């Protein structure tokens, strides 16, 4: 079974995970927080995050992170010799 089939987001409105605009303010910040709360409970969050980091660039909330958060993760990993990313 593919990890995506076990993801909790499968039972949610897909639009929840794709906020449009500046996610740091107003209703979009609330939407982002709601999407991340689904991710926090998800049994496949780590697989989802690993996929999104490796598939760069991926829009939306994946593995409980925004596109900007994943970009920062990749930069930190690139600057840290011998660092490894979340296992798929």
Residue 39, marked binder: yes
For residue 78, say whether it is annotated as part of any ligand binding site.
Answer: no
pTM over 0.75: yes
54 close to 88: Cβ distance less than 8 angstroms: yes
- DSSP helix/strand/coil, 49: helix
CA distance 74 to 15: 25
Q: Is 3 annotated as a binding residue?
A: no
pLDDT tens per residue across span 2-16: 999 999 999 999 999
Cα–Cα dist 17/34, whole Å: 9
On whether 48 is known to bind a ligand per the annotation, the reply is: yes
Compute the distance between CA of residue 56 and CA of residue 8 in angstroms, rounded to an integer: 22
* 84 pLDDT tier (thresholds 50, 70, 90): low
């Amino acid at each position: 079974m593919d990890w995506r089939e076990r993801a909790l987001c499968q039972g949610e409105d897909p639009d929840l995970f794709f906020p449009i605009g500046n996610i740091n303010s107003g209703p979009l910040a609330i939407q982002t927080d709601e999407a991340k709360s689904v991710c926090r409970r998800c049994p496949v969050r780590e697989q989802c995050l690993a996929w999104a980091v490796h598939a760069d660039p991926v829009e939306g909330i994946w593995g409980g992170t925004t596109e900007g958060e994943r970009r920062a993760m990749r930069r930190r990993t690139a600057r840290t010799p011998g660092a490894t990313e979340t296992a798929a």
